[in-house]
Amino acid sequence: MAKHTVVTMPGDGIGNQVLPEALRVLEAVGFEAEYIQADIGWECWRNEGNALPQRTIDLLAKHKLGLFGAITSKPNKAAQEELRPELRGKGYVYYSPIVTMRQKFNLDICMRPCIGFAGNPLNYIRKKAVGFDEPQIDTTVFRQNTEGMYAGIEWTNPPENVRSALASHTKFNAFANVPGADLAVSVRVITRPAARRIITAAFEYAKKRGFKGVTICEKPNVVRETSGMMEETAKEVVKNYPGLALWSTNIDAQLMWLNKNPEDYNVIVASNLFGDILSDAFAGLVGGLGFAASGNIGEQVAVFEPTHGSAPKYAELSPAIVNPIAMILSAAMMLDHVGENVKADRIRKAIAAVVQEGKVRTYDMMRLSGGPKAISQGAASTNQMTDAILAKLGREQAAHA
Q: Which of 184, 190, 177 lies closest to 147 in space, CA to CA?
A: 190
Q: What's the pLDDT score for residue 26?
A: 98
Q: What's the pLDDT score for residue 344?
A: 98
Task: Please report the domains of the chain, with CATH numbers, ordered by start residue.
Answer: 1-108+292-401 (3.40.718.10), 124-149+190-285 (3.40.50.2300), 153-186 (no CATH)
Count of residues for the chain? Answer: 401
How far, in Å, CA of 123 to CA of 120, rounded? 6
- Amino acid at site 12: D
How far, in Å, CA of 151 to CA of 149, rounded? 6
Q: What's the pLDDT score for residue 277?
A: 96
Tens digits of per-residue pLDDT, 232-270?
Answer: 999 999 999 999 999 999 999 999 998 899 999 999 999
Q: What's the pLDDT score for residue 288?
A: 94
Question: Among 20-24, 104-108, 368-372, 390-394, which is the least confidently predicted range?
Answer: 368-372
How far, in Å, CA of 19 to CA of 291, rounded? 14
Tens digits of per-residue pLDDT, 115-158?
Answer: 999 999 999 999 889 999 999 999 999 999 999 999 889 999 99
Mean pLDDT over 7-14 rounds to 97
Confidence class for position 337, pLDDT limits 50, 70, 90: very high
Mean pLDDT over 273-297 rounds to 96
- Is the backbone peptide bond immediately before 324 cis, with ω within 30 degrees of 0? no
Mean pLDDT over 172-200 rounds to 97
Instruction: Characterize the bridge pairing of strands 4-11 and 65-70.
Output: parallel
Measured in degrees and rounded to the nearest 5, phi and psi for residue 188 equal: -95, 115
- Mean residue pLDDT across the chain: 95
How far, in Å, CA of 371 to CA of 247, rounded? 43
Q: What's the pLDDT score for residue 75?
A: 84
Tens digits of per-residue pLDDT, 38-95?
Answer: 999 999 999 999 999 999 999 999 999 999 999 998 888 899 999 999 999 999 999 8
Q: What's the pLDDT score for residue 401?
A: 56
Mean pLDDT over 286-315 rounds to 95
Question: Among 17-21, 114-118, 308-312, which is the least confidently predicted range?
Answer: 308-312
